[in-house]
Structure 1
Amino acid sequence: MSISETAGPSTTSRTRAKARHILDNYYIGPARDVNVLEIWGYTERFSYSPGDRVALHVSTTAETWDLEVGRDGASYQPILQEIGLPGVYQHTPTDCSVNGCNWAPSYEFVIPHDWKEGGYLVTFRADRDGDAVEEHHLFLLRRAENRPVAPYVLVCSTGTWMAYNCWGGSNHYEGITGPKGNAFSPVLSALRPWTRGFCKLPEGAPRAVPEMAHVPGGMVRYPYMEWAYSYGYSKKYASAGWASYERHFARWAEAHGYEFDFATQHDLEADPDLLNRHACAVFVGHDEYWSANMRSAVDRFTDAGGRIARFAGNFTWQTRIEDEGRRQVCYKYTATEDPLYGTDRQHLVTGAWEVAPVNWPGARTFGVNGLKGVYAGLGRCVGQGSGGFTVYRPGHWAFDGAHLGYGDQLGAASRIFGYEVDGLDYRMEDGLPFATGADGADPDVRILAMGLATNLEPDHGTWGETIYIGDADAAYKASVLFGEITPETLDRSTRGNGVIVSWSRGKGEVFTAGTCEWVMGLSRRDWQVEQVTRNVLDRFGTKR
Structure 2
Amino acid sequence: MGTDQIRRWESGALAHAVTDPFGQGPLPWLRGSETYFDSGHLVPWYVEQATVHGDPRVPPPRKHNGPRTADDVHRQIKGFATTGAVAPGEAIDFRVSVDPPQPFSIDIYRIGHYGGAGAFKITTSPRLSGIVQPAPLAAERTVSCHHWWLSWRLQVPTYWNLGAYVAVLTTEDGYRSHIPFTVRDDHPADLLLLLPDITWQAYNLYPEDGRTGASLYHAWDEDGALLGEGQAATTVSFDRPYAGAGLPLHVGHAYDFIRWAERYGYDLAYADARDLHAGRVDPSRYRGLIFPGHDEYWTAPMRRTVERARDHGTSLVFLSANTMYWKVDLSPSPSGPGALLSCRKRQGPGRPALWREAGDPEQRLMGVQYAGRVPEPAPLVVRNGAHWLWEATGAGEGDALPGLVAGEADRYFPRTSLPEHTDRVLLAHSPYRDAEGHRRHQETSLYRAPSGALVFASGTFAWSPALDRPGHVDPRVQRATANLLDRICKRD
**Normalised-by-shorter TM-score class:** 0.7 to 0.9
Check conservation: 1:332, 1:352, Cα contact below 8 A.
yes
Q: Determine helix, strand or coil for the equivalent of 1:262.
A: strand
Amino acid at match of 2:445: V
Structure 2 counterpart of 1:451: 430
Write out per-residue CA displacement over residues 447-471 of structure 1, whole angstroms, 9 at most, x where no aligned residue: 111223555345xxxxxxxxxxxxx
Deviation, structure 1 residue 31: 7.5
Deviation of 1:273 after TM superposition, in Å, equals 4.7
**Aligned partner of 1:511 among 456, 479, 490:** 456
Conserved? CA contact 1:151–1:542, under 8 Å: no
Distance 1:178 1:505 in 2: 52
Quick one: structure 1 residues 124 and 25, their matched pair in 2 at CA, closer, same or farther if it must change by over 3 Å? closer
Structure 1 CA distance for aligned equivalents of residues 92 and 447 of structure 2: 40
Pairwise mapping of residues 395-406 of structure 1 onto structure 2 (< 5 A)? 395-406=386-397
> Any conservation in 2 of the 1:28–1:167 contact (CA below 8 Å)?
no
Amino acid at match of 1:186: T
Contact 2:202 2:236 in 1 (8 A): yes
Q: Which residue of 2 aligns with 1:419?
A: 407
Per the alignment, residue 93 of structure 1 pairs with 136
Query: What CA distance in whole angstroms lies between the structure 2 residues aligned with 1:37 and 1:403?
Result: 50
Q: Equivalent residue for 1:135?
A: 177
Q: Is the 8 Å Cα contact of residues 245 and 519 (structure 1) preserved in structure 2?
A: yes
2:20 is equivalent to residue 23 of structure 1: no
2:241 is aligned to 193
Which of 75, 87, 99 is the equivalent residue of 1:49? 87
Which of 154, 163, 172 is residue 216 of structure 2 equivalent to?
172
Q: Is the 8 A contact 1:285 1:515 kept in 2?
A: no
Q: Do 1:375 and 1:453's aligned partners in 2 also have CA atoms closer than 8 Å?
A: no
- AA aligned to 1:260 is L
Deviation at 1:296, TM superposition (A): 1.2
Which position in structure 1 is the counterpart of 2:467?
522
Q: Does 1:408 align with 2:399?
A: yes
Distance change in 2, residues 1:92/1:142 (3 Å)? same
Match of 1:467 in 2: none
1:114 aligned residue:
159
CA separation of 1:511/1:500 partners in 2, compared to 1, >3 Å: closer, same or farther? Answer: same
Deviations 1:296-339 (A, max 9, x none): 111000011110111111122111111122011112233x44xx
Alignment of 1:361-510 (within 5 A): 361-370=361-370, 373-376=371-374, 381=375, 383=376, 387-410=378-401, 412=402, 415-425=403-413, 436=414, 438-442=415-419, 445-453=424-432, 455-458=434-437, 496-507=440-451, 508-510=453-455
Residue 194 (structure 1) shift: 1.6
Aligned pair in 2 of structure 1 residues 142, 502: CA closer, same or farther (>3 Å)?
same
Q: Secondary structure at the match of 1:162?
A: helix
SS across alignment from 1:195? coil
Equivalent residue, structure 1, for 2:342:
329
Which letter maps to 1:254? E
- How far apart are the structure 1 equivalents of 2:396 and 2:154? 54
Matched letter for residue 163 of structure 1: A
Contact between 1:28 and 1:195, CA under 8 Å: does it hold in 2?
Answer: no
Compare 55-64 and 72-81 and name the one that shifted more: 72-81
With over 3 angstroms needed to count, the CA separation of the structure-2 counterparts of 1:177 and 1:188, relative to structure 1, is: farther
Residue identity matched to 1:513: S
Please identify, of 297-306 and 159-168, the stretch whose mean Cα deviation from structure 2 is larger: 159-168
Could you give the per-residue CA deviations for residues 259-292 of structure 1, whole angstroms, max 9, x where no partner exists? Answer: 1111111110011652221000011221111111
Give the Å deviation of 1:178. 9.8
Change (3 A) 1:397 1:78: same
Q: State TM-score, norm by structure 1.
A: 0.70
Gaps of 5+ in 1: 1-17, 200-236, 426-435, 459-493
Alpha-carbon separation, structure 1, partners of 2:463 and 2:71? 37
Aligned-partner SS, 2:283? helix
Specify the SS of the correspondent of 2:464. Answer: helix
Deviation, 1:196, is 2.9
Give the number of equivalent residue pairs: 408
- Report the equivalent of 1:536: 484
Structure 2 counterpart of 1:369, one-letter code: Q
User: Could you report, residue by residue, the CA deviation over 1:415-474 in whole angstroms, capped at 9, with x for unpaired residues?
Assistant: 33110111112xxxxxxxxxx3x122349642111223555345xxxxxxxxxxxxxxxx
Q: Is 1:353 the counterpart of 2:391 in the alignment?
A: no
State how far apart, in whole Å, the 1-side matches of 2:120 and 2:389 are. Answer: 34
* SS of the residue 2:260 aligns to: helix
Give deviations 1:510-542, integer Å, cap 9, x for gaps. Answer: 011111121221124421111100001001114
- Whichever residue aligns with residue 372 of structure 2, its letter is V
Contact 1:416/1:519 (8 A) holds in 2: no
Instruction: Quote the Cα distance in structure 2 between the aligned partners of 1:32 and 1:273.
Output: 34
* Residues 23/181 of structure 1: CA separation in 2 closer, same or farther (3 Å cut): closer
Give the Å deviation of 1:395. 1.4
CA distance in 1, matches of 2:405, 2:484: 18
Q: 2:61 maps to what in 1?
A: none
Q: Determine the structure 2 residue equivalent to 1:60.
A: 98
SS in 1 for 2:189: coil
Q: Contact conserved, 1:120 with 1:141, CA < 8 A, in 2?
A: yes
The change in CA–CA distance for 1:32 and 1:261 in structure 2 (over 3 A counts) is: closer
Check conservation: 1:286, 1:312, Cα contact below 8 A: yes
What is the identity, as a one-letter code, of the residue corresponding to 2:156?
I
Alpha-carbon distance in structure 1 between the residues aligned to 2:308 and 2:222: 39
Determine the C-alpha separation between the residues in 2 that align with 1:184 and 1:452. 33
Cα deviation for residue 496 of structure 1 reads 4.0
Amino acid at match of 2:425: R
User: 1:241, 1:49 → 2: CA distance?
Assistant: 24
Matched residues, percent identical?
A: 24
1:294 aligns with 2:277: no
| Unmatched segments (≥5 aa) in structure 2 | 14-43, 47-69, 208-212
Q: RCO (CA 8 Å, sep 6+): is it higher in 1 or 2?
A: 1
8 Å CA contact 2:177, 2:246 repeated in 1: no
